[in-house]
């Protein structure tokens, strides 16, 4: 039987400590550099704490890193290339037994298309309050004392209209 300490990311004490000192180490799985840059900028501006964003461009490599390194949360772009969305959701659910997962949808606008003359991709992230979503997800995992929670979905497309 697994105790929750087999992997560095699974220790509940790490979740509590990361929230107490205001630091959150986030593993972000995305294959578009622009999206990662925009998310990093939005998180750096957040008053909710100090976010360290580690980017990986393949889900399998990210899963291996989860075994070897300590992360507080997994952020997953559901528009990851070369991957079927349903398989991504299944894999996210599987990884949620190791650490809390937030799945982003509606990130297709980060491929270079315009959102309108007065809107930017950063606007979507700020309006969705991504930092607060990550913070709430980690607090919820800490409060429940477990990380085996269903992935949280953050839908950016509802802010693009």
CB-count burial class (<10 Å; 0-12, 13-18, 19+) for 93: middle
Tens digits of residue pLDDT in 94-143: 887 778 999 998 887 665 554 454 567 788 888 889 999 999 999 988 88
CATH numbers and ranges of domains, the chain: 8-156 (3.40.50.2300)
Q: What's the confidence (pLDDT) of residue 1?
A: 33
């Amino acid at each position: 039987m697994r105790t929750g300490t087999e992997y560095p990311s699974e220790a509940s004490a790490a979740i509590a400590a990361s929230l107490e000192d205001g630091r959150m180490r986030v593993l972000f799985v995305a294959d578009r550099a622009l999206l990662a840059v925009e998310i990093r900028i939005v998180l750096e501006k957040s008053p909710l704490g100090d976010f360290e964003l580690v980017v990986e461009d393949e889900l399998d490599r990210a899963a291996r890193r989860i075994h070897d390194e300590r992360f507080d949360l997994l952020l997953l772009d559901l528009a990851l290339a070369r991957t079927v969305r349903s398989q991504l959701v299944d894999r996210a659910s599987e990884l949620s037994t190791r650490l809390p997962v937030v799945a982003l949808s509606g990130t297709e606008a980060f491929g270079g298309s315009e959102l309108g003359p007065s809107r930017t991709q950063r606007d979507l992230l700020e309006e969705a309050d991504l930092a607060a979503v990550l913070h709430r997800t980690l607090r919820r995992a800490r409060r429940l004392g477990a990380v085996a929670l269903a992935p949280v979905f953050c839908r950016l497309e509802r802010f693009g209209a």
